[in-house]
Amino acid sequence: MGEVQVADLLLPGVGVKVDQLVLTDSEARVAVRSRAASAPCSGCGQRSSRVHCYYQRTLADRPVAGRRVRIELRARRLVCGNEHCARRTFAEQIPALTRRHARRTDALTAQLTDVALFLGGRPGARLFQTPARRHSRARMPTMHACSCRAHHMPSRPGASTSSSSPGHTSHNRSTTGSHPPDPSR
């Protein structure tokens, strides 16, 4: 049986190498870098291994053993070798870990989305106010509210999903006011 790596336990299926793991009472800080020799350009898709520079990127991940997990990724900015590509350099994205401009992992985003959809705003926010899970109460109900509306999820079993159903109210979403519409109306 092979040796188990820290990356395999904390980030299964993600192509990263763990350089350092620091545990405190409230946090696990994991310094990682990509194992891939090259990455595809986000502009044209051509793979490149020519490094332009390195930079530090910090991501929040799912809690482990009652501790917040902070991933410190040594990210690469690569040079695109395609002379016809509009991008000269691009940031490497690690599948199943990073997305452009994201500050949390795909796994944490999925977990927060599930909580927001199943428990709702306040109960979900209370669940995530433990020391290992600090997420804004205001963010919980809005994280994927658009996906709820897009799927027209009924509020109770057997309820109609059509917009002409009894009890359905349409809010005036005027863009002339400086404040968003009051949801209690």
d(CA 31, CA 54): 14
List alpha helices for the chain, DSSP H.
6-10, 106-118, 121-127, 139-142, 145-151
d(CA 152, CA 166): 15
Residue 135 is classified by DSSP as -
Segment among 4-13, 43-52, 60-69, 108-117 with least mean pLDDT: 4-13
Average pLDDT over the chain reads: 74
Strands 39-40 and 16-23, bridge-based pairing: unpaired
Do 82 and 41 meet the contact criterion of CB atoms below 8 Å apart?
yes
pLDDT in tens, 22-60: 999 999 999 999 999 999 999 999 999 999 999 999 999
Token pair of 64 as six digits: 């482990």
pLDDT in tens, 71-95: 999 999 999 999 999 999 999 999 8
More confident residue, 154 or 82: 82
Q: Domain residues of the chain, as ranges?
A: 14-94, 105-151
Q: Which of 7, 3, 6, 27 is nearest to 15 (CA)?
A: 7
Model-wide pTM > 0.85: no
CA angle 111, 116, 119 (to 5 degrees): 110
Residue 155 is classified by DSSP as S
Of 6-15, 80-89, 128-137, 148-157, highest mean pLDDT: 80-89
Token pair of 45 as six digits: 């898709």
d(CA 72, CA 32): 6
